[in-house]
Amino acid sequence: MNAPEPSLSHLAEVVPPLEQIVVACAIAQSQRIGAQPLIRGLDDAAFAALCARCLPGVPLTNGRSASAPFDEFDELFALLCEHASPRDELSVWIAAAIATAAQRDEHLWQDMGLPSRRELSAILNLRFPSLAALNDRDMKWKKFFYRQLCLRAEVPICKSPNCADCSDLAVCFGPED
């Protein structure tokens, strides 16, 4: 998919600490598990721009995967980008990092290599506030994202008309640690 055009007004800004942590942790986690590319959805120029702003002086290449893209990467990347605010290049990079990590098997904050769920919730509320606000019952983030995608695609995934009576209650809610 084509990533949204970044706002040029943000190009020269210093990367704030939370965004810096999220990008650095996501890349470090991809390196740790040998993921290629480190962040999907970014072409060479975008990844070089990310490194120049977020990890200056660190020699990195994104790498390429020989395997097919994950099924839901494009959809989740697009969902996050639609809700990005500001919709600048930093938000797009973080959206790509989140959508990349979401394909893995642990809780999303773990898949992103973050210290705790707190940093994940903080970046989602900061950079994707309208999407984060929809999670008003504090669903597990990965479950919440995929439920949003299923709702958009009008594919029912829920086993019950309401969460209180659902056998998956503990799967969708509860602690993520």
How big is the CA angle at 108 (ends 72 and 52), to the nearest 5 degrees? 85
* Least CB distance to ligand SF4 at residue 54 (A): 34
Least CB distance to ligand SF4 at residue 158 (A): 3
CA gyration radius, the chain: 16
Question: For residue 73, how many other CB atoms are within 10 A of its CB?
Answer: 17
Q: Is 21 in the site for ligand SF4 (CB under 6 A)?
A: no
Q: CB of 135 within 8 A of CB of 80?
A: no
Cα 160 to Cα 85: distance, rounded to the nearest angstrom: 33
- Residue among 129, 124, 122, 77 at smallest CA distance from 99: 77
Q: Is 172 in the site for ligand SF4 (CB under 6 A)?
A: yes
Helix-helix angle 141-153:117-127, to 10 degrees: 40
Residue 158 binds to ligand SF4 (criterion: CB under 6 A): yes
Count interface residues toward ligand SF4 (CB under 6 A).
9
Q: Please identify which residue in 106, 152, 160, 174 interacts with ligand SF4, judged by CB under 6 A.
A: 160
Which residues have C-beta within 8 Å of that of residue 45, sequence separation ≥ 6? none
Token output for 35: 């993921």
Nearer residue to ligand SF4 within complex by CB, 61 or 160: 160
**Interface with ligand SF4 includes 1 (CB under 6 A)?**
no
Site for ligand SF4 contains 55 (CB under 6 A): no
Q: Is 169 in the site for ligand SF4 (CB under 6 A)?
A: yes
Give the residue with the Cβ less far from ligand SF4, 48 or 163.
163
For residue 105, the minimal CB distance to ligand SF4 (Å) is 18
Nearer to ligand SF4, 39 or 172 (CB): 172
Q: Which residues bind ligand SF4 (CB under 6 A)?
A: 147, 158-160, 163, 166, 168-169, 172
